[in-house]
Amino acid sequence: MKHPPEFLALVDEARTRIKELPPEAVKALINSGAVVIDVRDKEEFGEKHVGGAINVSRGTLEMRVPEVIPDKGTHIVCYCAGGNRGALATDTLVKMGYMNAVSIAGGLRAYEESEKGK
């Protein structure tokens, strides 16, 4: 999917404020108990997702995350399909005061590719 330049500019700006980690580093966080949030739409989540992930779509994130993750010190891993919505969601979480939110660099596609290399 080709994204509009305005969208990509927002993503690039968000990336200056967040941490994006490669899949291998994310796996260590997940194994140590980080909460994994899939910010894709419900239909996308239903097709495939990281094991144990919670689906909180990008469109409802600001409203739902306080009930799903009340502790702002919780380690959180956000992702989408390719990394863009995950970066925006992570930026939103940081702005909301979540201190340990990170995004998977390359999103679910990169995560799945790293699984193939095992």
Q: What is the pTM of this model?
A: 0.94
Domains of the chain: 26-116 (3.40.250.10)
Decide if 80 is catalytic.
yes
Counting as low any pLDDT under 50, the low residues of the chain are: none
- Which pLDDT score, from 0 to 100, does residue 115 have? 86
Task: Note the pLDDT tens digit of each residue in 69-91.
Answer: 999 999 999 999 999 999 999 99
Residues 80, 104, 105, 110: which is the catalytic one? 80
Give the 3-state secondary structure of the chain: CCCCHHHHHHHHHHHCCCEEECHHHHHHHHHCCCEEEECCCHHHHHHCCCCCCEECCHHHHHHHHHHHCCCCCCEEEEECCCCHHHHHHHHHHHHCCCCEEEEECCHHHHHHHHHHCC
- Which pLDDT score, from 0 to 100, does residue 118 have? 59
